[in-house]
Structure 1
Amino acid sequence: MLQTLSSPLPARRLLLSASISMALLSLGACGGGGDADDGGAQADIAAVAEPAVAPCRASGNNVFDQLLGCVTVDGVRRHLAALQRIANAHHGTRVSGTPGFNQSADYAEKVLRRAGYQVTRQEFQFQTFLSRSPSQLEQVAPRPVQSIENRIMSYSGSGQVRAAVARPSGAATGCSSADFAGFPAGSIALLRRGDCTFAVKATNASAAGAVGAVIYNNIPGDLNGTLGADFTLDLPVTSVSQATGERLAATAGLVLRLKTDTFRGQATTSNVIAETAGGDANHVVVVGAHLDSVDAGPGINDNGSGSAAILETAVQMAGMRVRNKVRFTLWGAEESGLVGSTRYVEQLTQAERDRIALYLNFDMIASPNAGYFIYDGDDSDQVGAGPGPSGSAAIEKTLQGFYSRRGVAFRGTDFSGRSDYGPFIAQGIPSGGIFTGAEEVKTAEAAALWGGRAGEAYDRCYHQACDTYDNINLRALDVNSDAVAYATLYYAMSARPLADLRKKASQYTAPVVTWPEHPPVRQ
């Protein structure tokens, strides 16, 4: 059963859906993070005006160099400043289903229309999630009483409980009901990440009589997860780091107090879709990024960065004569489980899917402690879910070539279907893209390769209020905005029959996605 709101709430923002009467979230602010010089950030945000539309006059033999010269970091930052300004006007968030997202989509539509594109807004409903106040986790016993840093699991139920803590008698991950044999009903379950979805863990714990659940990471760093939109149990569920979880697991006589205050309900949002007037309509290059943030913050790196790079690329490509049609897409409700991209792919006919030559995905391309990752289309890393559909390896090589020419070291990242490429690879559509890291901790080896700070997350503000205009690595934004422009133009102009890249969907087995949340890391 969906939670209902039983009492009036302070006015913050209203969901634009008749299914939801009112909702709120209390959002704080924390500092930025990054290697960029952001001294003028607030002035940049305050000064942002209507986006200038000045298409690149690229022609002749050096069209790639000309386009990359036109797609500037300043141009991309203007779009980021606009998104930050929108978030500032809507209590620090641009989450789908709220005016903050709707105005972000309005802004993107205006930019694309002024550049000369025909723009479509594809509306759809989805199950939204809001945390109306920060989750609280407190050690009550043994004393002293102390607060514990935690992250609420998206789609957690509401509740306030004080109870002894118990672990499964079987596997610590709690992925089987048998793991909870003898579990003391009325306890808070302490579970380790891994082997199954967070929803399975929480459901098994609830069935065993748990009144709440705390899930701890199985790798260093914080854990940001989702139970998925189908999770409807009224069970409070939160997460802690690996170090915290292991400390709690070793504490005898542990009693915790856990409080969550959440809203789950139907909301309406949209995708923004624009395409070139020219180009072969039988060989469509789809370029996409999700436009929404989580409800905790403005989402400027995640994923204003990918959206802004696509917007600026589209503006600068306006009017170019392309060989293959290009479709620019900004997705809604990605943070709710890839909903927008999934709805888009689902509503296409098979003939329309067959006309899509490939999909390029750009999600989190300017993390402050950045790495440079390319989706592993050929599974050369032999990690995780396996290769993408036939043709994905060619996209990977195109992006590798770009980085090599720029003198930027790169590594692969697992092609698991946890970002908006997921629905495309499920249909056998070749896909690829770039990523600069999320909450995973940068190793000493990675820091030696790329610089930055070992022992810290690639993005320490991932899914937090501090993912602001200041939370951007300007070098990564500059390099990767050019990567977006290069890959888009490369396939827009490709003389090679793009149909040769792909096989029919029946010839490709998509990976099983166990956690529809985009950082491509192991669960």
Structure 2
Amino acid sequence: MRTIIAPLAVLPLLLGLAPETPRAAEAPGPGDHLAEVLAERTTAEGALRHLTALQRIADASGGHREAGSTGHERSARYATALLEAAGYRVSHQPFTFSHRETTAERLTLTGDGERAVPVRALTYTANTPPGGLTAPLAVAGGEGCAPGDFAGDTYRGRIALIARGTCTFAEKAAHAAAAGAVAALVHDNVPGDTPFTGSLSDPDAGVIPVGGLTLADGRELAAADGATVHLELEQLAEERETFNVIAESRGGDPDRVVMAGAHLDSVREGPGINDNGSGTAGVLETALRLAEHHRGGGATVRFALWSAEEWGLLGSRHYVAGLSGAERDTISVYLNFDMIASPNHALFVYDGSEGPAGSAAVTEHLVTSLAEQGLTAELTPFGSRSDHAPFVEAGIAAGGLFTGAEGLKTEAQARLWGGTAGEPYDPCYHSVCDDLGNIGHEALAANIRVIARTVGRAVWHPEALTTAP
């Protein structure tokens, strides 16, 4: 059920965060001129106003901004009010999704030395039978990403223990189920004090129960290969409605569209100020400053704030699936910004070399934009963990920025960007402490300048972004 919130125009006022009085608009000029104006005027200080608003919304909404919740709706209406006031044509794209609430997650190592092992039910897991199931463990070969990692009859009637990495949780579960496993436990690939949260991405992917473990517990259980455990995982399912926020500039060429997006929703475990309030704030602040300094003309610029990313990229997938072939062809490029202010940050740019035509050039432009600030970027694979994935799958040129999640910073990266080697890029990833104190201000400032400069250049010549500089 959707909650009715305060009218759009007054929500920012209620939060004490009304937009600044717009400056007089500058006459549009060449892409480089607009890019430099936006890079100067689009600041971390401006983005922090939005992050403060998102924190206040989470505080007033049960501590989170999860898709389908009051916190998400309030966040979306806050952004909508600002975008409409800036002159954008704003629409809400509703969709339903299967919401899950975990009611049981228990794992016990039985026999001598019996002990409870912390476990997290992955979203869209199948439920264990009432009261749970008891079975011996069987360690998967490799990372469980191929049928050969579950060779022979070793896994029949057992619980597969699998390392995290390389492929999706759904793929690991499917291979384990095909080998006869009755459940799967996936242990983390980096240290951490609590089991990770994750999703099978699709309600139909839960063919067997699947839980997540810490790296330390996974290694301990692997050393006890064949030991018997008792597992109980249960989730209640209900259909919920949520919506994407789509804001489009007026007066641009409808056959040349530049898109920039970020997911607005958080996980239930916390307010999501870095993941992904930071990307949302970068996109929103860029949109507001663009409206001040660009009167129209050039390409259409379309900003998207996705919902239900944390449930498997559902908002962006819904959007891309609804595009006709002709509509897909009008999108020159999609730029994605997810976690751009991790406190122990990296400066990752998605590697478009294996993406659709034009993606490698987008990568080069983003790397160059960081270099213009005296900063060195590192390439990271596109993968399927954020909202660029549906666009890449649809053959649309894409790129984006990322400052790291639960992965550990290397010694070489610490020498390059500072911070602490051997520690996570974001120690509060998917946790209650992902609040305003979890923002890396240096990374936020650098990445916001890149977003603004890139969008500014693309307004007049979007095709230049997908052509090597």
TM-score class normalised by the smaller sequence: 0.7 to 0.9
**CA distance in structure 1 between the partners assigned to 2:312 and 2:250 by the alignment:** 31
Query: Which residue of the partner structure matches residue 12 of structure 1?
Result: none
> For residues 213 and 82 of structure 1, do their structure 2 counterparts lie closer, same or farther at Cα, with a shift above 3 Å needed?
same
Q: CA deviation at 1:170?
A: 6.6
> For residues 391 and 197 of structure 1, do their structure 2 counterparts lie closer, same or farther at Cα, with a shift above 3 Å needed?
closer
Superposition TM-score, scaled by structure 1 size: 0.78
Partners of 1:362 and 1:433 within 8 A in 2: yes
Identify which of 86, 90, 103 aligns with 1:115: 86
Q: CA deviation at 1:212?
A: 3.9
Alignment of 1:87-98 (within 5 A): 87-98=58-69
Identify which of 337, 351, 362 aligns with 2:326: 351
Q: CA deviation at 1:131?
A: 3.0
> For residues 466 and 416 of structure 1, do their structure 2 counterparts lie closer, same or farther at Cα, with a shift above 3 Å needed?
same
Identify which of 218, 238, 257 aligns with 1:284: 257
**CA distance in structure 2 between the partners assigned to 1:81 and 1:303 by the alignment:** 13
> For residues 172 and 142 of structure 1, do their structure 2 counterparts lie closer, same or farther at Cα, with a shift above 3 Å needed?
farther
| 1:303 pairs with 2:276 | yes
Q: CA deviation at 1:193?
A: 3.3
- Letter aligned with residue 179 of structure 1: A
**CA distance in structure 2 between the partners assigned to 1:157 and 1:49 by the alignment:** 44
Partners of 1:283 and 1:499 within 8 A in 2: no
Query: Which residue of the partner structure matches residue 217 of structure 1?
Result: 188
**CA distance in structure 2 between the partners assigned to 1:53 and 1:278 by the alignment:** 24
Q: Deviations over 1:436-464 (max 9, x none)?
A: 01111111111111111111111122122
Q: Deviations over 1:219-264 (max 9, x none)?
A: 6666543222234658542122334312211137744343434233
> For residues 261 and 89 of structure 1, do their structure 2 counterparts lie closer, same or farther at Cα, with a shift above 3 Å needed?
farther
Gaps of 5+ in 1: 1-14, 18-44, 379-386, 503-523
**CA distance in structure 2 between the partners assigned to 1:399 and 1:194 by the alignment:** 26
- Letter aligned with residue 321 of structure 1: R
> For residues 189 and 372 of structure 1, do their structure 2 counterparts lie closer, same or farther at Cα, with a shift above 3 Å needed?
same
Gaps of 5+ in 2: 4-11
Aligned partner of residue 272 in structure 1, secondary structure? strand
Partners of 1:197 and 1:227 within 8 A in 2: yes
| 1:361 pairs with 2:350 | no
Superposition TM-score, scaled by structure 2 size: 0.86
Partners of 2:61 and 2:71 within 8 A in 1: yes
- Letter aligned with residue 456 of structure 2: L
Query: Which residue of the partner structure matches residue 152 of structure 1?
Result: 121
Identify which of 379, 383, 396 aligns with 1:412: 379
Query: Which residue of the partner structure matches residue 6 of structure 2?
Result: none
Aligned partner of residue 365 in structure 2, secondary structure? helix
CA RMSD of aligned residues (A): 3.0
Query: Which residue of the partner structure matches residue 506 of structure 1?
Result: none
Q: CA deviation at 1:73?
A: 1.7
Partners of 1:396 and 1:433 within 8 A in 2: yes
Aligned partner of residue 241 in structure 2, secondary structure? strand
Partners of 2:17 and 2:49 within 8 A in 1: no
**CA distance in structure 2 between the partners assigned to 1:115 and 1:156 by the alignment:** 43
**Which is further off, 243-252 or 161-170?**
161-170
Alignment of 1:198-347 (within 5 A): 198-203=169-174, 205=176, 210=181, 212-218=183-189, 223-231=196-204, 233=206, 235-251=208-224, 254-319=227-292, 320-322=294-296, 323-347=298-322
Query: Which residue of the partner structure matches residue 481 of structure 1?
Result: 448
Query: Which residue of the partner structure matches residue 36 of structure 1?
Result: none
What is the percentage of aligned positions where both structures have the same residue?
41
Query: Which residue of the partner structure matches residue 405 of structure 2?
Result: 438
Q: CA deviation at 1:79?
A: 0.9
- Letter aligned with residue 364 of structure 1: M
**CA distance in structure 2 between the partners assigned to 1:233 and 1:418 by the alignment:** 18
| 1:142 pairs with 2:106 | no
- Greater share of helix: 2
**CA distance in structure 2 between the partners assigned to 1:49 and 1:280 by the alignment:** 36
> For residues 444 and 238 of structure 1, do their structure 2 counterparts lie closer, same or farther at Cα, with a shift above 3 Å needed?
same
**Which is further off, 168-177 or 435-444?**
168-177
Q: CA deviation at 1:103?
A: 1.5
